Amino acid sequence: MIGRGFWVCKARLGKRGNRPGVVPLLGGVIACAALLALLFVDFIELWVTSMSMNTVVEPHAGIIPPQSVPPTRPEEFLLMPSPLVCQRAKPYLVTMVTSAPANQRARQAIRDTWGGEVEVKGLRVMTLFMVGVASDPGLAKLLIEEAREKGDLVQGRFLDSYSNLTLKTLSMLGWARRFCPQAHFMAKVDDDVLFNPSALLHFLNKSRNPYEQGDLYLGRVHLHVAPDRDPESKHYLPSGAYPHSVFPDYCSGTAYVLSRSALLKISLAASASPLSTPLPPEDVFVGLCARAAGVLPSHCPLFSGGPAVPYGRCCYQAMVSIHHIPPREMLQYWADVNSSPPCSWLSIRASLGMCKVRAMLGSDLGLEQGL
Ligand SMILES: *[C@@H]1O[C@H](CO)[C@@H](O)[C@H](O)[C@H]1NC(C)=O
Ligand SMILES: *[C@@H]1O[C@H](CO)[C@@H](O)[C@H](O)[C@H]1NC(C)=O
């Protein structure tokens, strides 16, 4: 469908001689502009988001001396792979999946699809799961067995509950800081996210700035979000815990990526900052620590953030992260995305535009799939 529109555009604009009326000409121009916008919707999104981002780093930011923060101790983790796991695997990217003890099926789907230890174009990627303490003794036993069998669980010393997610992130940052200095990048991903390490590595490789040395805090950036002051809400944050009217810009917690230097700065800021009660949501907390450390978030349109993205093979091939994927769909989509040859440039542009527009509209417009 897109291909046909493209040629119609060309034919219309290319026609000379008999002058077309103003109205059809205008219609043609609008149609072509819409088509171009569809093909480059991610660039438009990046431009619009970057325009409204706060790019001012506060002068007092980033002055936490590393010596002032106690080192991460192995006793903080009840279960973990060998402390030498990163020394052995030498991952370029370590992906930490935050998971609840009961979500065994989600973890297995990830191991069977994008997880595990893999090599992408010569770069090693390792995926580990971050859990807390299960309140149910039966579940706690199952976790110990799972850790022994799979060797990919890291368990922090805190009760695993929704309101303790921020403690999970603190624990994850501490673990990666201490036990995985080999990784150039760390990704934090939720266990209902279809993550695509090769799309991420491709994006990082293609980006003009070599982030390997500098700070990178990459994901879907949320702008000017106000704290939730509704006491009934599960994200309730009273003004005693956070007095300002908006949060600093932060990356959606569904999936974000930190370079080694950003990880160190954010993790040090996190350990140095007093923890409020209740804690801010996990992603806001990371955003606050990043702000304190002088690290600015970067927006990448290939991270889906909250809204569901309708399935399209070429779209999913290009996206770095897609949220709200149950285990069964994860297996199905991953197999389909990887079964056939890579999509062409035009099919990726068209499919990406289509699924982004559909995700924005939040409804099925009945447009063609499978581009
Ligand atoms: C969070 O974890 C701490 C430490 O394990 C525990 O004392 C606390 O009850 C947990 N909070 C919730 C709401 O589960
Ligand atoms: C990075 O880009 C170079 C040159 O464009 C290419 O040769 C290399 O395979 C790429 N690496 C990855 C991991 O995509």
Tell me the pLDDT tens digit for each residue of 48-67: 888 888 777 765 555 555 56
Residue numbers of the domain that contains 166: 70-299
Question: pLDDT value at position 370?
Answer: 35
Give pTM, 2 decimals.
0.88
Question: pLDDT value at position 125?
Answer: 97
Atom of ligand 1 nearest to the CA of 160: 14
Distance 201 CA to ligand 2 centre (A): 9
14 belongs to a structural domain = no
The reply to whether 288 and 317 lie within a common domain is no
Q: Which of 135, 159, 165 to mutate to test the pocket of ligand 1 (most atoms within 8 A of CB)?
A: 159
pLDDT, mean of residues 196-207: 91
48 belongs to a structural domain = no
pLDDT of 107 > 60? The answer is: yes
pLDDT, mean of residues 178-195: 96
Residue ending a domain, among 299, 322, 355, is: 299
Contacts of residue 246, Cβ cutoff 8 Å, sequence gap at least 6: 224, 225, 226, 227
DSSP 18: S
**Cα–Cα distance measured from residue 309 to residue 311, given in angstroms and rounded to the nearest whole number:** 6
173 belongs to a structural domain = yes
The reply to whether 187 and 295 lie within a common domain is yes
Residue closest by Cα to atom 10 of ligand 2: 205
Distance 261 CA to ligand 1 centre (A): 30
pLDDT, mean of residues 9-16: 50
Q: Which of 119, 123, 125, 205 to mutate to test the pocket of ligand 2 (most atoms within 8 A of CB)?
A: 205
Question: pLDDT value at position 303?
Answer: 95
Question: pLDDT value at position 192?
Answer: 95
Residue closest by Cα to atom 10 of ligand 1: 159
Distance 211 CA to ligand 2 centre (A): 14
Distance 199 CA to ligand 2 centre (A): 12
The reply to whether 242 and 340 lie within a common domain is no
Q: Output the CA torsion 305→311→312→318 (10° steps).
A: 30
pLDDT of 307 > 90? The answer is: no
Find out whether the beta carbon of 201 lies less than 6 Å from any atom of ligand 2: yes
On average, the pLDDT of the chain sits at 87
**Cα–Cα distance measured from residue 150 to residue 143, given in angstroms and rounded to the nearest whole number:** 10
Find out whether the beta carbon of 121 lies less than 6 Å from any atom of ligand 2: yes
**Cα–Cα distance measured from residue 66 to residue 174, given in angstroms and rounded to the nearest whole number:** 13
| pLDDT level of residue 209 (50, 70, 90 thresholds) | low
Confirm if 153 and 77 have CB atoms less than 8 A apart.
no
Atom of ligand 2 nearest to the CA of 123: 13
Structure tokens at 321: 């992260």
Least confident of 18-22, 116-120, 182-186: 18-22
What would the pLDDT profile of 233-258 be if each residue is shown by its tens digit?
A: 888 888 888 889 999 999 999 999 99
| pLDDT level of residue 70 (50, 70, 90 thresholds) | low
How many structural domains compose the chain? 2
Confirm if 146 and 367 have CB atoms less than 8 A apart.
no
251: nearest Cα among 204, 226, 275, 284: 284
Find out whether the beta carbon of 178 lies less than 6 Å from any atom of ligand 2: no
Where does residue 59 rank: exposed (0-12), middle (13-18), buried (19+ CB within 10 A)?
A: exposed
The reply to whether 154 and 197 lie within a common domain is yes
- Residue whose entry in the numeric block shows the structure tokens 């981002």: 53
What would the pLDDT profile of 79-95 be if each residue is shown by its tens digit?
A: 999 889 999 999 999 99
Least confident of 148-152, 186-190, 208-212, 338-342: 208-212
The reply to whether 328 and 216 lie within a common domain is no
Residues within a 6 A CB radius of ligand 1:
158-159, 161, 163-164, 167
Atom of ligand 2 nearest to the CA of 205: 1
Q: What are phi and psi of 241, to 5 degrees?
A: -85, -30
The reply to whether 212 and 165 lie within a common domain is yes
Does residue 5 or residue 271 have the better pLDDT? 271
Name the β-bridge partners of 126. Answer: 94, 117
Q: Which residues of 282-292 are buried (b: 16+ CB within 10 A; e: fewer)?
A: bbbbbbbbbbb
Question: pLDDT value at position 17?
Answer: 53
Residue 92 belongs to domain with CATH number? 3.90.550
